[in-house]
Amino acid sequence: ETGVTQTPRHLVMGMTNKKSLKCEQHLGHNAMYWYKQSAKKPLELMFVYNFKEQTENNSVPSRFSPECPNSSHLFLHLHTLQPEDSALYLCASSQDVGQRPGPQHFGDGTRLSIL
């Protein structure tokens, strides 16, 4: 059982819908991440949260809105998405250990399809 849980596993939505992806980590980590994995492209970092504060927004369009209410939970709110946003969205967490970072632990991902 993974220490990082993502729901839902699959999501199909229209371009005008609003939905949210949820990520929960049970590892006691203080940093959480959202990644996008499109077909035939490397994983792309979207957002980074460290101790609930957003520290990185990698030029992500505003139709993606992250929320981190506490160090264990991370959401990605989706609104008015485009077909090119169809991808696997992966959540990860890690322990911020300064000069020697621990590995990021990933969830199983949410496979998102935009109609």
Partner 1 sequence: AQKITQTQPGMFVQEKEAVTLDCTYDTSDQSYGLFWYKQPSSGEMIFLIYQGSYDEQNATEGRYSLNFQKARKSANLVISASQLGDSAMYFCAMSSNQGAQKLVFGQGTRLTINP
Buried b (16+ CB within 10 A) or exposed e, 76-114: bebeebeeebbbebbbbbbeeeeeeeeebbbbebbebeb
Joined together, the tokens standing for residue 62 give 């505003």
* Shortest distance in whole angstroms from residue 52 CB to partner 1: 12
Contact between 73 and partner 1 per CB under 8 A? no
Contact between 13 and partner 1 per CB under 8 A? no
**Which parts of this chain interact with partner 1 (CB under 8 A)?**
2, 31, 33, 41-43, 45, 48-50, 55-56, 88, 90, 92, 94, 96, 98-101, 103-109, 111
